[in-house]
Amino acid sequence: MGQILLLSNGHGEDVSGALIGQALRSMGHSVQALPLAGLGSPYQQAGIPLLGRSHEFSTGGIGYTSLRGRLTELVQGQILYLLRRLLRLLRHGHRFDLIVVVGDVIPVIAAWLTRRPVATYLVAYSSHYEGRLRLPWPCGELLATRRFKAVFSRDQLTADDLTDQLQRPVQFIGNPFMDPVLTPDDALPTARRRIGLLPGSRRPELEENLLLLLQLIEQLPRDADLSLDLALVSSLEDAALQTLAGRVGWHLERGVLSREGTLPLKVQRGAFQAVLQHSDLIIGMAGTAIEQAVGLAKPALQLPGKGPQFTARFAEAQRRLLGPTVFCAPGKAASRDNIEATAALALDLLERSRNDHELQEQCRREASRRLGTSGGGTRMAAAISDLLP
């Protein structure tokens, strides 16, 4: 059995890496992980040991952020942190039979520098953005070398495009991050209609996103048949949530956020999967979570915020990636006009999610086309295992 190192650079990438790692361990391989950005919590939760200590930054690590986010990265020392992680990789890389990259150009370059065999899951890139993928230099040149034993894409369009560009086979066999949410979860009580709200996971952006979602809820009419469920990460504890909500006239009691004259908002911790599965409509300010919603054939409605991650620019790119079942109302991000328009669009989509058969079929079609079927993690792990002597 082989010694395998998972190399990833972001929370969503860590989630996929951990799922691949679990499948590889079940096959008997020894697996470690080196997250280049963030704590690597998904690896720790999966029982996969980290190569050295990790640290979390407010922007979530080197990624698709606003100018403010880039400046924050510099001030917080993320560039120096990344360099230290790369030095750790170079010192220890020789111990591994195979490096598995989950991410984009940064871990691709890092893995190439180890001179070890590499398998790459390009979860961060898609030809759906522009029709023809323009890989940043020197990503394409490196992936075409013999050191990279296998390349996996996140959708079939990208696999076909890169097979032509790189003059080598690129495979699409599913996305590991879809596997958990495709497993049935009945953790929530039944509701006639349900909207799931996803404020994201990165703090302090999470707090700003949540305040915008509360403003949105204030625009919705009271409806006893409608359940509003907030999928919230554990890092924002009840005391901090109460303080935050109290600033805008909301109160937290027994897991429910309420304000006079508005619909109550049920806080769901540890039930992210159930919220996604049982909602008729997802309103989100997140990356991977919106992708998972689309993969479940749910219409998704964006509410762009102030960033540094989920900005109007990020939201627009996300719509190109995920297609016509991701919606966004007009207006400047975080403005009152945009919030009011989003509330009106939410009510329209909620009705259509139940009665518009054309939209339902479109959601199913785009789910298969953009994200693939369940079991991607197991299939990818099997293909990676086959690369080892």
Quickly list DSSP for 241-308.
HHHHHHTTT-EEETTEEE-TTS--EEEEES-HHHHHHH-SEEEE--SHHHHHHHHTT--EEE---S-S
Q: Once rounded to an integer, what is the mean pLDDT over residues 285-299?
A: 95
Record: fold of 3-179+374-385:
Rossmann fold (3.40.50)
Q: What are the pLDDT digits (tens) for 88-110?
A: 999 999 999 999 999 999 999 99
pLDDT (tens digit, 9 = 90+) per residue, 228-269? 999 998 889 999 999 999 999 999 999 999 999 999 999 999
Q: If you search the block for the tokens 């992210």, which residue do you land on?
A: 272
Task: Say if 3-179+374-385 and 182-370 have the same CATH topology.
Answer: yes
Domain boundaries, the chain: 3-179+374-385, 182-370
Whether the pLDDT of residue 42 is over 50: the answer is yes
Closest CA to 205 of 103, 61, 319: 61
Joined together, the tokens standing for residue 17 give 């890496």
Quote the pTM value. 0.89
SS3 of the chain: helix, strand, coil, percent, to 5: 45, 15, 40
pLDDT tens string 131-157: 999 999 999 999 999 999 999 999 999
Quick: pLDDT tens for 112-130: 999 999 999 999 999 999 9
Amino acid 56: pLDDT? 54
CA–CA separation, 8 and 19 (whole Å): 12
Cβ atoms of 175 and 322 closer than 8 Å: no
Q: Measuring CA to CA, which residue among 123, 104, 125 is closest to residue 175?
A: 123
- φ and ψ at residue 316, rounded to 5 degrees: -65, -40
Q: Domain 182-370, what fold?
A: Rossmann fold (3.40.50)
- The DSSP call for residue 16 is H
